[in-house]
Each structure stands twice: as structure tokens, then as C-alpha cells.
Amino acid sequence: MTTTTNAKVGARSGSVVSSPFSTLFRQRAGARGLALDIVLALTRVSLGWVFLWAFLDKLFGLGHETASKAAWIHGGSPTEGFLAHGAVGPFKSFYNDIAGAAWADYLFMIGLAAIGTALILGIGMRAAAGAGTVLLVMMWTVVLPPENNVFMDDHLIYALTLILLAALNAGRSFGLGGAWARTPIVRDRPYLV
């Protein structure tokens, strides 16, 4: 370890100990540090996998949450179980009414696949964050009030995380977001970034 003298005007005099991790957090003007990019990328890909796994499990019945016989490819409904039997609270009748509807199944599954894929690749982060936030808030309203808190649960935390990832352009952190933003169709339509 090395020590250096702090020479800033108005700063407290003394020594500063350099850390081997200091280069991870050092930022250039207008650029993020490597540590932040790594955390953003890991968070983005991890949350993308949550969505994509839910899609794959419901589609193929991989046995984690969805049994093989209840898989969508075997005639099961990805929305019926949760909406028909798990709904409680003020929106119960609304969710019971749409449980198992073909249009709800298709929208839900397309949403899971598209949001998960966009997050993992780092493309379309604003659209993925918007659609994901709507989906997560709707899932939160299925079970109001949440079981372990007055109002807060993982759906809202994930929704806030999606908004943060989009606001910080996390698709550019070890993702395809930079290349995606330079494509002609996206360059003229910033909402597709």
C-alpha cells in the first residue's frame, strides 16, 4: 500500500491510502466506473433471467413451478393457476375473470419472453422497463395486500429496478445497447433505446 498526501485546497491534510480496488471506481468525465458497469450488467442479466425462466418454465413445464402436464405446450394455461386460485384482495374478481383467457395467456407469455430477452441482450431497455413495470405492478395487485408487508413486495422492487436500469442505460454495460442505439430505426426513435 502506498500513501499520498492530500493536496487539495481547503481539504483536510493527512494521508490517503490507495486501494487496489480504486481503479474499479475511478470515473472519467462523462463515463461510469467499471464496478458500476459490472453491477448494472449483472443486475440486468439476472433480472432478465427471472423473466425468461418464468417463460420457459410455463412454456415447457420444466418442473420448477410448472409441472410438465400443466405446460403451455401441453394445453395448460400460464395464467389460470395464479389468477384463478391465487388472487385475493380488491382486484380478485377482475383477475378471476381473465384467468385462462387465450389473449391473457398470449400477452403474458409474449411479455415474459420479450422482457427477458431484451434485458439479457441489453436492447430496448426503455420498452422492456415500461412493459416489465406494468406486468410487475399488475402481478402485485393480484395479491393485495402482500403477505409479508403492508404494501411492499418483490414485484415492486423488481419494477423499481427495471426503471433504474433503463434510466442508467444499463444496456450499454456489457450489453448490445450501444450498438442497438446506433441502428437507423432506433437512432430516430429514442423510445426504442
DSSP 86-107: S-BSTTHHHHHHHTT-HHHHHH
In a domain, 26, yes or no: no
In a domain, 1, yes or no: no
* Per-residue pLDDT, 51: 98
Measured between alpha carbons, how far apart are the two ends of the chain, in Å?
43
| Peptide bond connecting 78 to the previous residue in cis, omega within 30 degrees of 0 | no
Least confident of 31-40, 64-73, 134-143: 31-40
Closest CA to 98 of 114, 78, 112, 113: 78
Check: CB of residue 131 under 8 Å from CB of residue 111.
yes
* Per-residue pLDDT, 8: 46
The predicted-structure confidence for 57-85, as pLDDT tens digits, reads as follows 999 999 889 999 999 999 999 999 999 99
In a domain, 82, yes or no: yes
- What would the 3-class secondary structure string for 6-67 be? CCCCCCCCCEEECCCCHHHHCCCCCCCCHHHHHHHHHHHHHHHHHHHHHHHHHHHCCCCCCC
Three cell numbers at 165? 436500469
In a domain, 62, yes or no: yes
* Per-residue pLDDT, 15: 57
Any residues with CB less than 8 A from the CB of 145 and at least 6 apart, and which?
89, 151
In a domain, 81, yes or no: yes
* Length, in residues, of the chain: 193
In a domain, 68, yes or no: yes
* Per-residue pLDDT, 124: 96
CA 148/CA 106 separation, integer angstroms? 30
Enclosing domain of residue 47: 31-192
Average pLDDT over residues 135-140: 97
Note if the pTM is more than 0.85.
no
In a domain, 12, yes or no: no
pLDDT band at 110 (very low <50, low <70, confident <90, very high): very high
* Per-residue pLDDT, 126: 96
Q: Sign (positive/negative) of CA torsion 127, 130, 132, 135? A: negative
pLDDT band at 45 (very low <50, low <70, confident <90, very high): very high
In a domain, 17, yes or no: no
Q: Sign (positive/negative) of CA torsion 43, 46, 48, 50? A: negative
Number of structural domains in the chain? 1
